[in-house]
Structure formats: C-alpha cells, structure tokens
Amino acid sequence: MEMMSLSIVLWLLVLVVVVFLSSGRPVVVIDATHLKGKYKGVMFVVVTKDGNEQVFPLAVGLGDKENDSSWLWFLTRLKRAFGVLENMLFVSDQHISIKNVVEAVFPGVPHGLCTYHLQKNLARYGVNVVAMFQRAANSYRREQYDLYFGQLALVRDKGAYRKLMDLHPSRWARSHCRVRRYNFMTSNCAEVFNGRLRWGRRLPVCTFLEFVRTMICHWFAKRRSKAFARTQPLTEWAALKLDISVDEGRRMEVNAINAFKFTLSSSDRNYVVDLRARSCSCHEFVLVMSLILT
C-alpha cells in the first residue's frame, strides 16, 4: 500500500513538471507556512498559475524551521526537478532566507517581492503613501512609474521612499522588472494554496502529505474535465480578458499608420499598436496580455 501511494506521488510530480515546462509561465511563487499538529515544522510550497488563472502547485516540502539551510535543501531539489527556465522569476515575501538562497541556488534569476506585503509595511506612513506606491508598482510604462513615484518622493516623511529605493524598483515595480512579471504582483496564489491546506496541517505528516496529494489530484481531474468540455481554443479566463479588451477597443478611435501599425486614441489614452510585432506602446500587451496568444 505504501509503494502504491509513493508511485502515484512520483507520477504526479512527473506530470506537473511536463505540463509546467511545456505551457506554464516561468514565474514561481514561493512561501512557507507552519504545521499545527503534534510534530511542529514548516511546509514549503511553490506554485504558479495555469492558463485559466488558477493556482497550479509545483512542489511541496517539509522542514524543521524556515531558515537558510532548510530553504537551501528545498530549492536545490526544485532546481533539480525544473532546472533554470528562460525568463524565470521568483516572487515571495521579504524573508531574508528566501532572498539568500534564491541568489545562491538560482544566480542571475530575478527575485520579485510581493507588493501586498510591502504595502502592509508602508501602512504606517498613511493611505496616501500606500496609494502612490500601488500606482507606481502596477504601472506598465516607465513614464507612469516616474509620475507616481515622483509624487511619493515629495512626501515630507522620506521613510517610505528610502525603504522602496533600498529594495530597488526592479524587485517590486512591474515597469522595472528585468523579465515579464505578467500579473504576479503578489504571492496571493501561494496564500490561497496554504489556505486550502489549513486543516490538513493539523494532521500527522504522512496523513498530511496524502491529504495534499488527494486534493491536487482532485483539482487536476476537475480542470481536465472542464478543459475537454470547452469548444473554444482559449481558456475561460483568457477569453474573458480578450472580450473585455475588444469591448474597450470599440470605444477608441483607430487610424492606420501602415498595413500593420495603428494609432488608438480616446479622451485619456493614445497608443501605437503594431500587429506584426504584437506590441503596444502601453506595454501591457508585452507584460501581461501576450500570454493569451502565445
């Protein structure tokens, strides 16, 4: 019985690796949460999102505590399973051990910070500072970022500005990220996964791991059935995003520059779209929307 359970776990890991490497976004969110049962410890999780914007778990590990050595053990095995992907990006909270080990195990791979955790740390500076930070972090264009972050620089208390500059904008601002960050601005998908395991974390270790395996198998089976039932080539999430974009486009004035380039303008926006290059001067297509059509 134990060998059968082990075989299923190994098969599931191979399936996850194949699906992620073939069609997943190269952005992984890592987090840790504490076990609540008789034997204390820490559960490490690595998740991403699938093409329907749903949580896609990649790996789960158990350690005695959240420190450099345990993260090193976990991320070394993660690298052994997935390797280093092109345009790879890690997203997490500010735990110093995560930063240290990501730099050691995945040298050169960018490590982005969760903007939700950052804004909670900035809350003591006031709601206006948080709002400026949110607008700067989520901006697609450097011009927008400069405008909003410039406003934050003018605030009398320079604490928030200095803190964000010390962390470096490339770690929290979408417009400054060295690779595509897509819409992974927070570590929320890892928090969601941890939330679903809240009661299971009180179980004995072996029972808990079986609980995790069963839950993931249930998710994948349900998603597979829904995918086979679809008649469109896009997922529900991608189709909805495309419909919204098309609807917004109908309210904009379009003028041709040549056979492939067009200007799109409205009362507050003015962009240049290149259909051949699949780009837009808003930069949103490059940083997020290109996922739908790749």
Mind listing the pLDDT tens digit for each residue in 217-232?
Answer: 899 999 999 989 999 8
Q: Is 60 helix (H, G, I), strand (E, B) or coil?
A: strand
Cβ neighbours of residue 25 under 8 Å, at least 6 residues apart? 48, 49, 180, 182, 184, 291
Residue 64 β-bridge partners: none
Residues 219 and 282 in one domain: no
Max CA distance (Å), the chain: 69
Amino acid occupying residue 91: V
In a shared domain, residues 57 and 199: yes
Residues 48 and 84 in one domain: yes
Same domain (yes/no): 84, 188: yes
Q: Are residues 60 and 190 in the same domain?
A: yes
Mean pLDDT of the chain: 86
How many domains in the chain? 3
The whole domain housing 250 covers 236-293
- In this prediction the pTM is 0.84
> Can you tell me whether residue 140 is helix, strand or coil?
coil
If asked whether residues 20 and 78 sit together in one domain, one would say yes
* Regions in the chain scoring below 70 on pLDDT: 1-23, 285-294
One domain for residues 223 and 240:
no
Question: Bridge-partner residues for 227, per DSSP?
Answer: none
pLDDT in tens, 174-209: 999 999 898 899 999 999 999 999 889 889 888 888
